[in-house]
Chain A
Amino acid sequence: MLKQLFAIIAVSLALVGPSRAVLTIEITQGVSGALPIAIVPFEWLGNGVAPEQVHTIVAADLQRSGYFQPLPEQDLVARPHRANEVNYTNWRALNVDHLVVGRIQALPDDNYQVQFQLLDVHKRTQLAGYSIRSGKSDLRRTAHQISDIIYKAITGQPGAFDTRIAYITVTQNQKKQKSYRLAVADSDGHNEQVVYESKHPLMSPSWAPDGKRLVYVSFTRGRPEVYIQNIVTRKFERIVAFKGINSAPVFSPDGSKLALTLSKDGNPEIYILDMATKDLTRVTRNFAIDTEPAWMPDGKAIIFTSDRGGSPQLYRIGVNAQGSTGRAKRLTFEGDYNARGAVSPDGRYLAMVHREEGRYRIAVQDLKAGHFRVLTDSRLDESPSFSPNGSMIIYATEDNYRGILAAVSVDGRSQQRLSLRTGDVREPAWSSFISRQR
């Protein structure tokens, strides 16, 4: 019996792999009225088979956005690779608005030249045409850049496909010992890389605007303390370790400061830490819990959670070098629990965790018009984070008692789920637009 059990464990370990967890994405709610687009498999000009199916990656990206409905590959009426090979009449008959064609040329130096054209089927014109040089291991990234170009050419808004997400995973071995990992992956969940691993709890990851550093809270010394880590060089620094809790760190939009929560003076208050001088400025002064700061995009105000009114609600307070400017103003009034605010990059929307009949859901408030809207329908949602183009919100939720990530469009129309094959995944943080060195 025991032998059998070991065999089963061995097999499942072999299937799962030692430590590499893979995120898979499933679109749970598509959008009616999404734009039909055809993406023809790119021509491969090299030996053997192409190392990545670029057209598949692009199609998946566009579908995930909720704005596009790529034509299934088997429905393609023809396989052109250049604009001058396209018979527009055929594609019009399929009710396709846009067509993407392209080719990948293997270069003698082991790099690739990827060329593509985005065509308007109705106007019979080219909307975009690019030639991108791609490193050997960069084809996936090149595909995401192509998706960004297509998205922008058609919607007028920048795409957020060539970006990353950071998140925390928790797995448990047979001895029930937990392993906490801070991981970074491409926005489609591929290319996961673990940047920090600990047997102690790990929480609140957040990106620096440069997309190269993460700030997070680790319990590795027995209490919550704040660390900054460069995800490329692995260099890290314990930045704040006062008595009490050191938590909820977030970089200011210009990266020069960190807003965070410290309880060193007795109860949790919001502080601002100047990264250059290490000067600490206290922002809030209240007997209640003040935590979960989020910067407004102009860096002149902070939104935070406070239960000063009896239940957790979101407040806004102006900030400058001396601390706060004026009194905190309450922003949320729907229900008795609104917490962990996240502000859209344009400053218009405030996403939050909202409790409704004992269920915790993601809601969005329009900060200009005041409209309030619950976007999700689950019971344990938390940690909303906006995509850098403001179109999607990624958040943590549970499915069948497992922690998973999910994303929802700000209008609530498109939803998708990202789940690990094993363990829990939680606390997603979407990077800003990044310029990774190639």
Chain B
Amino acid sequence: MGRSLIYVFIAGLILGLSGCEFKPVKKYGEDDDQATQQADRDSRYGVDEGGPLDIKALDDPDSPVSVRVLYFPLDGVTISNEDRDVIAAHARLLSGNPEVSVILEGHADERGTREYNLALGERRANAVQQLLVLQGVAQSQIQVISFGEERPVALGHDEEAWRLNRRVEILYSGY
């Protein structure tokens, strides 16, 4: 345990010193469109302020915190029971590491009006935020940003693309 902490500390130090920019993690099974979006995203955020992170859990595909994209129904903000477990796992990680912060990025599919969708993306991210805060995460650890329908991950114009685009991404800073 002690050894892995040192490990994490060094990793954090390197990330901090190198002025690492914000880099969300690719989820399993997602296509390259998202990687493209993320390459763009790299240049948008400032220097990382996060401290050491439990990188192992975030990297472990069997850990619930490896899931960092949550999907939503049409027009809706309902969070599934499965996703509630995922959010609970993130809440445990965040409340146990108060120096770690996340951005909750809310998104909508392309249907309907853009400004309403911007608000809908925020509402989705707020729903996730609320659950995190209820489970002990400090408000100061969370930042909510909505992109509405402006940053789709799936570029198609069908039900499957729309399903993938109605989402909240949990982005760990410094990771």
> A interface vs B, CB < 8 Å?
175-178, 199-201, 203-204, 219, 221-224, 244-245, 247-248, 261, 263, 267-268, 289, 291-292, 305, 307, 311-312, 337, 339-340, 353, 355, 360, 380, 382-383, 398, 401, 427
Contact = CB atoms under 8 A, between A and B. Distances in A.
Contact of A244 (B44, B75, B144, B157): B144
Sort A-B residue pairs by CB-CB distance and give the 4 closest, nearest first: A201-B150, A340-B113, A248-B115, A289-B119
Contact of A353 (B112, B147, B157): B112
A369 B121 CA distance: 36
A291 B75 contact: no
B26 interface: no
Interface string B42-64: 01110000000000000000000
Nearest to A306: B116
B44 A203 contact: no
A222 B36 contact: no
Contact of A339 (B36, B39, B113, B148): B113
Contacts of A263: 119, 122
B111 interface: yes
Interface string B123-146: 100100000000000000000111
Interface of B: 32-33, 36, 39-40, 43-45, 75, 110-116, 118-120, 122-123, 126, 144-148, 150-151, 157
Contact of B157 (A204, A247, A401): A401
Contact of A340 (B40, B45, B116): B116
Contact of B113 (A178, A199, A267, A383): A383
Given A177-B40, A201-B147, A247 B111 contact: no
A398 B123 contact: no
B130 to A, nearest CB: 11
A61 to B, nearest CB: 30
B160 to A, nearest CB: 14
A289 B123 contact: yes
Contact of A203 (B32, B33, B120, B150): B150
Given A268-B122, A401-B157, A219 B150 contact: yes
Contact of A219 (B113, B126, B147, B157): B147
Contacts of A204: 114-115
B112 A199 contact: no
Given A176-B33, A178-B40, A245 B122 contact: yes
A222 B44 contact: yes
Contacts of B126: 267
Contacts of A380: 110-111, 157
A312 B119 CA distance: 12
Contact of A224 (B32, B118, B157): B118
14 contacts: A175-B36, A201-B150, A203-B118, A224-B148, A245-B146, A263-B119, A267-B123, A289-B119, A292-B116, A312-B113, A337-B112, A339-B113, A380-B110, A383-B114
Contact of B116 (A175, A291, A401, A427): A291
A113 to B, nearest CB: 46
Contact of A247 (B32, B39, B118, B145): B118
B114 A289 contact: no
Nearest to A338: B113
A247 B144 contact: no
B113 A292 contact: yes
A180 to B, nearest CB: 9
A251 to B, nearest CB: 16
Contacts of B40: 177-178, 199-200
B122 A312 contact: no
Contact of A312 (B33, B36, B44, B116): B116
B114 to A, nearest CB: 6
Contacts of A221: 44
Contacts of A291: 115-116, 118-119
Contacts of B44: 200, 219, 221-222
A305 B116 contact: yes
Contacts of B157: 380, 398, 401
A176 B110 contact: no
Nearest to A289: B119
Given A267-B119, A305-B113, A339-B116, 10 more contacts: A177-B39, A177-B40, A201-B147, A203-B150, A245-B118, A267-B126, A292-B113, A305-B116, A312-B112, A353-B112
Contact of B112 (A222, A245, A355): A355
A401 B119 CA distance: 25
A267 B146 CA distance: 12
Contacts of B114: 203-204, 340, 382-383, 427
A353 B110 CA distance: 13
Given A223-B145, A380-B157, A398-B157, A176 B36 contact: yes
